[in-house]
Structure 1
Amino acid sequence: MKKLLLVLTITLTLNCCNNDDDQPTNPIDQLPPATQTGENTFGCLLDGEAFIPSGGTNPLDCVYQFVNGEYYFGLQGNKRDQDNHLITISLSTNALEINESNYILRNNEFGNAYAGYLYATLPSFTSLNYGGELTITKLDTENYIVSGTFWFNIEDQNGTVHEIREGRFDMHYSG
């Protein structure tokens, strides 16, 4: 009887073990931590689901350049959905020097910060009606590191409004 009880206890214990225990189920817990050391990470919630760049060519890219007397910042994360459609989330400035500060994400005009969302081949950008905020928490021009947080709303080409929340990045950028 003791052996049967021992075997039953071991069997129940082993059945309770699950390799999925290490995988977070809350989408926000799936995002990379907010760091400021140039970890080359990017993530956000796209309509409540974790969006983390992956796969394909160039899933993550960041530049901050001085061109024709103006500064331009560009950061984008790419991944493919279950139907193999490309999804891109981007943050940019148009002739706007960045520093450790907050920026309102508006339309893509000279002197503004803005964001983009691309699904398949249909790009959409923040506007006066749908915008958000970009916060640069670290800009290290000696080590080419830029870190920050962001959120925005954006209307796609089909009229659907997408909510991008809890965005964070910690990137080495090219100049």
Structure 2
Amino acid sequence: MKRIYLFFIASLFLVFTGCDTEDDNVVNEELPISTIAGLNTFGCLINGQVYVPEQESFCLDCEDAPKLQLTYGEVFEEYRFSLSTFNDTDGDVSVALELFNGNEPLTEGLYSLSQTILETNDTPVANATCSINKKINGEKIESEFYSNDNIGGVLEIIKIDEEKKFISGTFYFSALDGNGQFVNITDGRFDVTYNSF
């Protein structure tokens, strides 16, 4: 019984001393390599700092906020690509990319990450968003950033495999919050299996 108690105390010590709330690393020090095999990888630089999706090991609501999810297909007679990512290590960060391609399926090539006006109700939708509630390169950021018709970026689809159901590509974009603050997303890459709408 004494061994179990000592093991429990040692485990708690490792858990609480292993967390550094002042650390502003998002997860890793390096981006994942670019691949085209459906390996479920994603990474980019946020204002120069590495970002990859990850959930804390003691995640209570993991089902509600999956760390990496891609949905692609036809919905309401319109092809849509929706990639969302999440990281809750030492704060919350999410990056999302949306493409609306009318009644044409996506193909390999370049797509704008600025803003789409939905034809059904003339609603503007940002094609790229980033939500940050943590330190990025030493600066505490608590805001949501959106691309618009003046700023954005480019998403390049390098490979679509409809048989194995994955999409691979690269991206970059700039986005703006309501206070005029910018965020720059660079060196983005993804290689993700998708679910259909």
- How would you bin the TM-score normalised by the shorter chain? 0.7 to 0.9
C-alpha separation in 2, matches of 1:101 and 1:51: 24
Query: Quick check: 1:103–1:133 contact (8 Å CA) kept in 2?
Result: yes
Which residue does 2:177 correspond to in 1?
A: 156
Q: Normalising by structure 2, what TM-score? A: 0.68
Which residue does 1:118 correspond to in 2?
A: 131
5 Å-filtered alignment, 1:119-158, equals 119-120=132-133, 123-158=144-179
Q: Are residues 133 and 47 of structure 1, via their aligned partners in 2, closer, same or farther at CA, if it must alter by over 3 Å?
A: same
Cα deviation for residue 124 of structure 1 reads 3.1
Which structure shows the higher helix fraction?
1
Identity %: 32
Query: Quick check: 2:79–2:100 contact (8 Å CA) kept in 1?
Result: yes
Compare CA radii of gyration and give the structure with the larger one.
Answer: 1
C-alpha separation in 2, matches of 1:94 and 1:160: 26
C-alpha separation in 1, matches of 2:39 and 2:127: 23
Query: Quick check: 2:97–2:129 contact (8 Å CA) kept in 1?
Result: yes
Cα offsets for 1:51-107 (capped at 9, x unmatched)? 00000421111000211111111001111252x3x2111111134431101011111
Which ranges in structure 2 are unaligned for 5 or more consecutive residues? 1-26, 120-124, 134-141
Q: Normalising by structure 1, what TM-score? A: 0.76
TM-align CA RMSD: 2.5
C-alpha separation in 2, matches of 1:72 and 1:113: 13
Which ranges in structure 1 are unaligned for 5 or more consecutive residues? 1-26
Aligned counterpart for 1:75 among listed residues 68, 83, 90 = 83
